Amino acid sequence: MEKGDILKIKNITKHFGGVKAVDGVSFSVRERQIKALVGPNGAGKTTLFNIVTGLYKADSGEIIFKGKNLFLYKPYKLINLGISRTFQNIQLIDALTVKENIALGLHSKIKSNPVSIILGLNKSHERDVLEKVERVCRFLKIEDYLYKYPNQIPFGIKRLVEIARALVSEPELLLLDEPAAGLNEDETELLLKSIFRIWERGISILLIEHDMEFVTNCSHSIVVMDSGKKIAEGLPSEVMNDYRVIKAYMGE
């Protein structure tokens, strides 16, 4: 493995029936890099994301995270390796407060057993959890919403809560699935700043995005997919001028 790559995606292929959703895609995310995966609708970006996070099984190929083959791990084990994600269609739990939603991100870190739950011996865990949740909320400036429920907060804040939930376990690789979708200009601006601040803490980021302008503003490197294939990869400035990319986005 080339030194400095935190995530290596090798030749991934995935069929749904007769449709090749992802077709032999390879690329890697370097440590402390913000990498963007872009492409028109149906290009296979989210499918690839779901393969990385173990929700789908690839037909062939390999994904290596820090030297470990991810396909050998169950999806719920990935967070322990240091991979965390957000979802395109917000997956906050309506029955839980913002605080509890974010605390869910720490689920795998809490070591306890049924007996200690029933005897109430996990109070100290809960204090730790609360402290970490509050810290990440201050970091993302959403501490005012801690005790609100998801249906009581604006859409832009929901996205940040999703990011907070992914961030609270202190992952090494953060996967963001269309973080800017549905946000207005101010919210996008705020998100952009937040993403940079996360990156400053040494976290590598792989994000899917639709919005080319957003991507060119925030990423170090871009991979472009179309119809399941990788059609370009490189610096934002290079990729934007690539003939195939323009064709995929604008048509002939």
Partner 1 sequence: MKENTATYVLIALFLLSGFIIKNPFILNMVSIAALAVIVVMGLNLLLGYAGQVSLGHAGFVGLGAYISSILAIRFNINPWLSILIASLLTSVFALIIGYPTLKLKGHYLAMATLAIGEIIYIFANNLVDLTGGHQGLTGMPMLSVGSFVFDSEKKFFFFVWIVVFFFAFISFRIVNSHFGRALKAIHEKELAALSFGVNVHLYKVVIFSLSAFYAAFAGGLYAFYLGFISPSSFDLLKSIDYIVMAFVGGIDSIFGSLIITVVLASLPNIMTFLQDYWPIVNGLLLVIAAMFMPKGLGGFIKWKRAIF
Interface with partner 1 (CB under 8 A): 53, 55, 74-80, 84-85, 87, 91-96, 100, 103-110, 112, 114, 117-120, 122, 125-126, 129, 165, 169
Comparing CB distances to partner 1, the nearer of 65 and 87 is 87
In the complex, minimum distance from the CB of residue 93 to partner 1, in angstroms, rounded to a whole number: 5
In the complex, minimum distance from the CB of residue 125 to partner 1, in angstroms, rounded to a whole number: 7
Q: Are 146 and 134 spatial neighbours (Cβ–Cβ below 8 Å)?
A: yes
In the complex, minimum distance from the CB of residue 214 to partner 1, in angstroms, rounded to a whole number: 23
Comparing CB distances to partner 1, the nearer of 21 and 224 is 21
Comparing CB distances to partner 1, the nearer of 56 and 214 is 56
How many CB atoms lie under 10 A from the CB of residue 246? 13
Q: Is 51 helix (H, G, I), strand (E, B) or coil?
A: helix
- The dihedral through the CA atoms of 226, 229, 231, 234 has a sign that is positive
Comparing CB distances to partner 1, the nearer of 122 and 227 is 122
What is the per-residue burial (b if ≥16 Cβ within 10 Å, else e) of 128-155?
ebeebbeebbebbebbebbeebbeebee
In the complex, minimum distance from the CB of residue 51 to partner 1, in angstroms, rounded to a whole number: 13
Comparing CB distances to partner 1, the nearer of 1 and 95 is 95
Q: Torsion-angle region of residue 110: left (phi > 0), alpha (psi -120 to 50) or beta?
A: beta
Comparing CB distances to partner 1, the nearer of 67 and 114 is 114
In the complex, minimum distance from the CB of residue 101 to partner 1, in angstroms, rounded to a whole number: 8
In the complex, minimum distance from the CB of residue 105 to partner 1, in angstroms, rounded to a whole number: 5
Residue 135: enclosing H or E segment and its boundaries?
helix 123-139
Long-range pairs of 149-152 with CB within 8 A, sequence gap ≥ 24: 149/94, 149/96, 149/97, 149/98, 150/90, 150/92, 150/93, 150/94, 150/96, 150/98, 150/101, 151/94
Tokens 């440590």, residue located: 31
What's the token pair of residue 45?
């970006």
The DSSP 8-state label assigned to residue 73 in this structure reads S
